[in-house]
C-alpha cells in the first residue's frame, strides 16, 4: 500500500514553455501533498504544501506565480512550472500523506513519488 505515482517521469522542454507534473496517490486518500525540488547530490527542498480544496502554502523564496499547484482531489495534485527557464531544470518529487499530524496521532508519514526529471533547454 501507500503508492504514489508521478507523471511524466522525464520531460524536456524549450525555454518559455509551461510544464505540468501530476502526482497521484494510488491506494489512499491524501489529505496533504508536498512538492519538493532536489538538485544533484543534494537533499530535498520543500517548495510547497497543498491540502485538498485549498490554496497551497509556499515556502519562503518559492514563486507562487511560477510554480502553480492545484490539489483538485484527494488523490491528485499538479505542479505547473510556468514559463520554464534552464535554471528550473531539476528533479521534482511529490509526496502524499494520508492525514495530518493531528489526525494521525502524531505520526503523519509521507510517501514519495518516483520523481520527475525536468530539463529546460
Partner 1 sequence: TQLLEQSPQFLSIQEGENLTVYCNSSSVFSSLQWYRQEPGEGPVLLVTVVTGGEVKKLKRLTFQFGDARKDSSLHITAAQPGDTGLYLCAGANYGQNFVFGPGTRLSVLP
Instruction: Tell me the residue length of the chain.
Output: 121
Does a cis peptide bond (omega within 30 degrees of 0) precede residue 70?
no
Q: Are strands 116-120 and 10-13 parallel, antiparallel or unpaired?
A: parallel
In whole angstroms, the minimum distance from the beta carbon of 84 to partner 1 comes to: 20
Q: Which of residues 94-113 bind partner 1 (CB under 8 A)?
A: 95, 100-102, 106-113
Helices and strands in the chain: count of H runs, count of E runs: 0, 11
Per-residue mark of binding to partner 1, 7-46 (x: CB under 8 A): ---------------------------x------xxxxxx
Where along the sequence are the contacts to partner 1 (CB under 8 A)? Answer: 4, 6, 34, 41-46, 49, 91, 93, 95, 100-102, 106-115, 117
Amino acid at each position: 500500500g501507500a503508492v504514489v505515482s508521478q507523471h511524466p517521469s522525464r520531460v524536456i522542454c524549450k525555454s518559455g514553455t509551461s510544464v505540468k507534473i501530476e502526482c497521484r496517490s494510488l491506494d489512499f486518500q491524501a489529505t496533504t501533498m508536498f512538492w519538493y525540488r532536489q538538485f544533484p547530490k543534494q537533499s530535498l527542498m520543500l517548495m510547497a504544501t497543498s491540502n485538498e480544496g485549498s490554496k497551497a502554502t509556499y515556502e519562503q523564496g518559492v514563486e507562487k506565480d511560477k510554480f502553480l499547484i492545484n490539489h483538485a482531489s484527494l488523490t491528485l495534485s499538479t505542479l505547473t512550472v510556468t514559463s520554464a527557464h534552464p535554471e528550473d531544470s531539476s528533479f521534482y518529487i511529490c509526496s502524499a500523506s494520508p492525514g495530518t499530524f493531528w489526525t494521525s496521532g502524531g505520526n503523519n508519514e509521507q510517501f514519495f513519488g518516483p520523481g520527475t526529471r525536468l530539463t529546460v533547454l
